[in-house]
Structure 1
Amino acid sequence: MLVEEIMKKDVITLSPSATIANALKLLRENHIRHIPIVNQDNQVVGIVSDRDVRDATASIFNTADNQQYLQQELQSIMSYPVVTAHPLDFVEEVARVFYNEGFGCLPVVSGNTLIGIITEKEMLYTMILLTGTNIQSSQIEVKVPHKPGILPEVAAVFGKRKTNITSVLMYPFNDDPNYKILVFRIQTMNPVPLIQDLRDAGYELMWPNNIAEPKL
């Protein structure tokens, strides 16, 4: 999935010479947390967050000082240079940037021009879509050898029962490079027959766990 598929294209911006009061008004009226700061060519030169505005605002108990702070230009408090995304970046790669840098948003730029923005909310919802948890389904986790061709091999078990797979993820098994965990989300509310098929095929299930039947 590409950034251009999830970004917001209607971006609220301000110029560097706009005031903190202008930013505060837009943040409150539009219920947003970040405002890209652009020049006359719509190029991103900075970014201002609701935290920047709060930090720059004087105590509410000192009205005179507060008004003075609110009239300062945004270029005095904006963060720069700004890390941006490209519309053809993969969402998974941008998610890593969000995590590593702790960003709340990323402006999207093409040809040095601002064309969109991605926030934490869009990123989180996209991860939900990619994992298939937005669709009613069952989850099965299978421990497999880390070798070429293992994914279609396991998927064939689902194919025999004509079960629709909504998503597949893979993650490491502890610190053992010889194994991986395949996570399948399947569109069935009764995965028991598939679970048995996987066990019969010799696969170890991490979820649902292999629990020995109690002895009578």
Structure 2
Amino acid sequence: MLVEEIMKTEVITLSPEETIETALKLLHENHIRHLPIVDENNEVIGIVSDRDVRDASPSIFEEDASPDELKNPIRTIMTYPVTTVHPLDFVEEVASIFYEQEIACVPVTRDDILVGIITEKDMLYTLIQLTGTHVQSSQIEVKVINKPGILPQVMQVFGQRKVNISSVLIYPYKPDPKYKVIVVRIQTMNPLPTIEDLKTEGYEVLWPKSPGLTL
């Protein structure tokens, strides 16, 4: 999945000379948490979060707090330089940027021009779609030897049952690196026939476990 498929293209921005007060109003009125700061060419030069604005706002508990602090330009509190991504980047790679840099938002640029934005909420929703948990389905986890060609072999078993597959994910099997776990979500509330087929073919089903087969 590409960034351009999930990014928001209607992005509210500010120039660096706009005030902190303006940023505060925009964040509140539009129920957003981040504002890219752009120059006259719509190139991203900074970013401000709702936390940045709150920290810069005068506190009601401070006796010497001055409302004039809200008149300061937004450039005085913006974060820069800004990590950006391209519309044709893969979403999975962008997820690693969120994790490694501990950020909650990335502007999307093409030729240095702002064209969109992705937030951690967008990433979470995309993860839900990629894992297939947004549709009614059953999850089956199969332990397999970590070798080339094992995935199509396992998928042949599902193909024989002609079940509709929502998603396929592969995880390392932590107790033993010689194995991995194939997680398949199928659109049926009765996965028992497929599970029996897998066992007949010699595969170890880690989930659901017998007895009871909690789904």
Q: Shared fold by TM > 0.5? A: yes
C-alpha contact (below 8 Å) 1:16/1:38 kept by paired residues: yes
Deviation at 1:99, TM superposition (A): 1.1
Deviations along 1:182-210, one digit per CA (max 9) or x if unpaired, are 00000111001111111111100110125
Match of 2:92 in 1: 92
1:1-216 correspondence runs (5 A):
1-60=1-60, 65-211=65-211
C-alpha contact (below 8 Å) 1:60/1:66 kept by paired residues: no
Instruction: State the alpha-carbon separation in 2 of the partners of residues 61 and 138 from structure 1.
Output: 53
How many residue pairs get aligned? The number is 212
Deviations along 1:77-97, one digit per CA (max 9) or x if unpaired, are 000000011101100010111
Q: Secondary structure at the match of 1:70?
A: helix
C-alpha contact (below 8 Å) 1:16/1:75 kept by paired residues: yes
Provide the TM-score with structure 1 as the length reference: 0.95
Deviations along 1:94-127, one digit per CA (max 9) or x if unpaired, are 0111111111100001100000000011100000
Provide the TM-score with structure 2 as the length reference: 0.95
Deviation at 1:64, TM superposition (A): 7.9
Instruction: State the alpha-carbon separation in 1 of the partners of residues 31 and 66 from structure 2.
Output: 22
Runs of 4+ displaced beyond 3 Å: 61-66
Instruction: State the alpha-carbon separation in 1 of the partners of residues 198 and 175 from structure 2.
Output: 24
Instruction: State the alpha-carbon separation in 1 of the partners of residues 207 and 58 from structure 2.
Output: 54
Deviations along 1:118-156, one digit per CA (max 9) or x if unpaired, are 001110000000001111100000000011111110111
> Structure 1: which 5+ runs fail to align?
none
Instruction: State the alpha-carbon separation in 1 of the partners of residues 203 and 74 from structure 2.
Output: 59
Identity %: 63
> Structure 2: which 5+ runs fail to align?
none
Q: Aligned-pair RMSD on alpha carbons?
A: 1.5
Q: Secondary structure at the match of 2:11?
A: coil
Instruction: State the alpha-carbon separation in 2 of the partners of residues 142 and 210 from structure 1.
Output: 14
Instruction: State the alpha-carbon separation in 2 of the partners of residues 71 and 201 from structure 1.
Output: 70
Q: Secondary structure at the match of 2:178?
A: strand
Q: Secondary structure at the match of 1:177?
A: coil
The one-letter amino acid paired with 1:84 is: T
